[in-house]
Structure 1
Amino acid sequence: MVGAFLSVLNQTLMSTALPAIMRAFSITTAQGQWLNNGYLLINALMIPTTAYLIKRYTTRQLYLTAAVIFMLGSLIGAVATQYPILIIGRMIQALGAGVVIPLVNVVVMTSTPPSQRGAAMGVVGLALNLAPVLGPTVAGAILEHLSWRYLFGLTLPLMLVDILLATKLLHNVGHLEHFRLDRIGLLLSGLGLTLALYSFSNVGEAAFLSLKGIVPLVAGLVLLSLFVHCQFKQTHPLLNLHVFDYRQFILPLIINMLLMVTMYGNSVIIPVLVQNVFHHSALVSGLTLLPGSVLTAIISPLSGRFYDKYNFRWMVITGLCIDMSGSLLLSSTGSQSSIWFVVLGQTIRQFGLVLVLIPIQTHAWCMLPAPMIPDGVAVYNTLRQVAASFGTALLVAIISVTASGQWHWSMNSQLVGIKLSYLSSTIMVGICVLLARQLRRAHA
């Protein structure tokens, strides 16, 4: 859990530093988003292989190797003098994090009795859901006095201590199986996701229907279609797509993907809003998310216990409605709005999210037969990361297109894009409410 917390924390540390890094390397917002998108993409490519890796190698072997790779990426990022090298460091970090995060989920789900899984996942959620909102606050405090390079250095000693503890305390879980990795599936999924994401990243710089935008998207979708076709033909597929036979797995998955679009997109939007529009410091940008972090720490373990005891469907619907009201509030932000208005809207959003994320995740995996849980975790986390990556590109593109367009706004053009982004998030959460009404405890 400590390793997973550091991995997720690292995803959002860079968000607050994005404006400073853009100035340091003289890059655009669309280029800068690859700090997050490159990380999320490699993370998403690694997660599908974890179903294979968890069955093929011991827990200790996997965790220690992944943690060392993560440390190597942090070191490269800390000393990078060119932007492409910085991106490479982030991607190497993602190679390690892409194994650690699903490994934690599989270990907890396979070693916990069904009646206690909600409570156990609530504790895991404390790490996985607290880190994304705590990251910008920590980063803001560091950037107030130090260079963005220290954000990479922060995780190095902490992960080293974790590795030393893991060599003595971590035990192996599960049984090993020996079968070949589906290399064709890995190649098709990797190329398909990369091309599709590249297409979305071009939205902010070129017309989406230009060759630069549409060709990679079409090619990526074709490769992903081939990937899906091949998975049903394989004896030992990279991802067991038969998890989609279970409707009560699909519903939480779609809800989670939509929420990831809004959650990770917001981690980029808040620093741009606070620093570039309201002209506050990186520290203030980070502190904007602090009340939400505190709520996450308090409520996350409780939300898992509520799943075990109460009607989780109404809890999910309530959380989504709270999240939607916060998004709608932020969409009304004006150029004269107080920073406390942003804090209020963000805190309301986070309160709603923390009521939803752990229950729907636990529900999705509990609805699968025990042998399919590792595959379900891999599919769920893969699409979660893909949604986060595409969502960040999409919401940043809205800001970039608005700022670079030929329209004449009566307010800051970036603020107009931010308002449109939050309005889009409100619509997505509204769709989640409709889907949540169909959640049931029994198998579909």
Structure 2
Amino acid sequence: MTAFHISEAQVQWVTNGYMLVNALMIPVSAYLIKRFLFRNLYILATLIFLAGTLLGALCHAFILVIVARMIQAVGAGMMMPLVNVLAIRYAEPAKKGAIMGIIGLAFNFSPIIGPTVSGVILDYLSWRYLFIIIIPFILTTLVASLIILPKIPHNESPHFDSRGFVLVSIGLWCILMGLSNISTASFLSWQVGGLLLIGLVFSLIFVKSQLGHTDPLINLHVFNHGQFVTATLVNMLIVATMYGNTILLPLLIQTIQHRSALVSGLVILPGALLTGTLSRLSGRLYDRISVKRLVAIGLSIDCAGTLLQALIGTSSSPVILAIFQAVRQLGLVTMLIPLQTHALGLLPYEMVPDGVATFNTIRQVAASFGTAIIIAVVALVNRTFPGNGHIGIEAGFLVCLLLLVGAVIAARRLQSQFKRSI
């Protein structure tokens, strides 16, 4: 924000733009997985991610930073479903939870440890190193992909639903833009209400078009499976709070408490390390314990941590904030991987690519919309109570808590995975 002299509403597009493009690429990947070799797709995705990273390291304008992040999102949006489909389709049933735990370590640990690493970089180096530092890892991944990945054949030649892609792109972009404008415009203005209405109309047209399409962009028939619907809904609400929280904590520490980015990163570090340590264990627990029990335990812990953040977090020291965040992360790591494994592991073999695409698309959309809504609430409260920025942050934490309460209600419909074959 300081380097480019931009507002909170503008800076959130670095995150929201990435997550929304990522979400749009995930259903496209369902088509690509059916159409092309797994190995070739993964290498292509890595090259695209590398291109976005290089652009980010070299650019001089904020708009190019957003473009660079969106290019990265194209590559990342392809990688996530590829890895998940490989695990769900080819792993032994008794080991799916453990393998998904390893995969979850990468996907869930990265966005959590990111603020810590970026805090250190921003305090001691240029913001460009946020891009430069990951280039060696991308190159290592590229070389390993060329050497290790097998050539898994494909036996389908589906038609790409370009009309559906245009419809869902317009719908999601309009909704996200409308939510992002809540803090600066009236709800009845075209910038908010108008865009939200347009987005909803295009989204409804998209849903109708998918139901009657022979090769849909997103196979909505996965929603005929009740446990997939329940697990996806619970995951959506949880993810919205997880990404919203990663925005609230830096805002609290850096803009309200006037501490450095390094302190902000260190507050998040214990919870991130906890996530990294326990991710694989949570996958193994799914192979032994009912998903309903795991989610109940995780949500109880997460709600407790979020309530503490809302009630006394804004006036707490960095040490106390770190403890509250670690409590939240303990709850999250207990349930996120079991929820994903449960949602996808019960689907028929032929529907796994569509299930992965749908689950991850909704996850990314929830992350984008959750962040936009929470930031909008913070901005609205701050505008109502000027000079009391901590009230806006507290309101943001309360929104997270309300979303978690919704997840608690939805999770009551989860069933034990041991009642049916995987």
The TM-score, its normalising length taken from structure 1, stands at 0.92
Aligned mates of 1:336, 1:205 — CA distance in 2:
27
Residue in 2 that maps onto 1:93: 72
Segments of structure 1 that go 5 or more residues without pairing to the other structure are 1-21
Residue in 1 that maps onto 2:209: 230
Contact 2:102 2:279 in 1 (8 A): yes
Q: CA deviation at 1:335?
A: 5.2
Number of aligned residues: 419
Aligned mates of 1:336, 1:404 — CA distance in 2:
20
Residue in 2 that maps onto 1:55: 34
Contact 1:67 1:96 in 2 (8 A): yes
Question: Are residues 322 and 174 of structure 1, via their aligned partners in 2, closer, same or farther at CA, if it must alter by over 3 Å?
Answer: farther
Q: CA deviation at 1:66?
A: 0.9
Match of 1:418 among 382, 387, 393: 393
* Pairs within 5 Å for 1:378-389: 378-389=357-368
Q: Which amino acid aligns with 1:438?
A: R
* Pairs within 5 Å for 1:329-408: 329-333=308-312, 336-405=315-384, 407=385
Aligned mates of 1:129, 1:238 — CA distance in 2:
26
Q: CA deviation at 1:209?
A: 2.3
SS at match of 1:157: helix
Q: Which amino acid aligns with 1:414?
A: G
Contact 1:248 1:443 in 2 (8 A): no
Question: Are residues 383 and 301 of structure 1, via their aligned partners in 2, closer, same or farther at CA, if it must alter by over 3 Å?
Answer: same
Aligned mates of 1:443, 1:329 — CA distance in 2:
38
Residue in 1 that maps onto 2:180: 201
Deviation string 1:336-373 (CA, Å, 9 cap, x unpaired) is 42122211111100000000100111000112111101
Q: CA deviation at 1:414?
A: 2.4
The TM-score, its normalising length taken from structure 2, stands at 0.97
Contact 1:121 1:358 in 2 (8 A): yes
Contact 2:305 2:324 in 1 (8 A): yes
Contact 2:307 2:398 in 1 (8 A): yes
Question: Are residues 174 and 374 of structure 1, via their aligned partners in 2, closer, same or farther at CA, if it must alter by over 3 Å?
Answer: farther
Residue in 2 that maps onto 1:15: none
Contact 1:333 1:342 in 2 (8 A): no
Contact 2:88 2:352 in 1 (8 A): yes
Residue in 1 that maps onto 2:410: 435
Aligned-residue RMSD, C-alpha: 1.4
Residue in 2 that maps onto 1:13: none
Contact 2:309 2:324 in 1 (8 A): yes
Aligned mates of 1:401, 1:382 — CA distance in 2:
28
Q: CA deviation at 1:293?
A: 1.3
Contact 1:58 1:176 in 2 (8 A): no
Aligned mates of 2:139, 2:199 — CA distance in 1:
38
* Pairs within 5 Å for 1:299-310: 299-310=278-289
Q: CA deviation at 1:173?
A: 3.0
Match of 2:45 among 30, 49, 66: 66
Contact 1:185 1:230 in 2 (8 A): yes
Does residue 220 (structure 1) correspond to residue 205 (structure 2)? The answer is no
Aligned mates of 1:313, 1:256 — CA distance in 2:
13
Contact 1:247 1:443 in 2 (8 A): no
Does residue 156 (structure 1) correspond to residue 135 (structure 2)? The answer is yes
* Pairs within 5 Å for 1:120-269: 120-173=99-152, 175-269=154-248
Does residue 284 (structure 1) correspond to residue 263 (structure 2)? The answer is yes
Question: Are residues 245 and 78 of structure 1, via their aligned partners in 2, closer, same or farther at CA, if it must alter by over 3 Å?
Answer: same
* Identity value in percent: 45
Aligned mates of 1:149, 1:402 — CA distance in 2:
33
Residue in 2 that maps onto 1:14: none
Aligned mates of 2:377, 2:352 — CA distance in 1:
37
Question: Are residues 128 and 396 of structure 1, via their aligned partners in 2, closer, same or farther at CA, if it must alter by over 3 Å?
Answer: same
Aligned mates of 1:172, 1:392 — CA distance in 2:
38
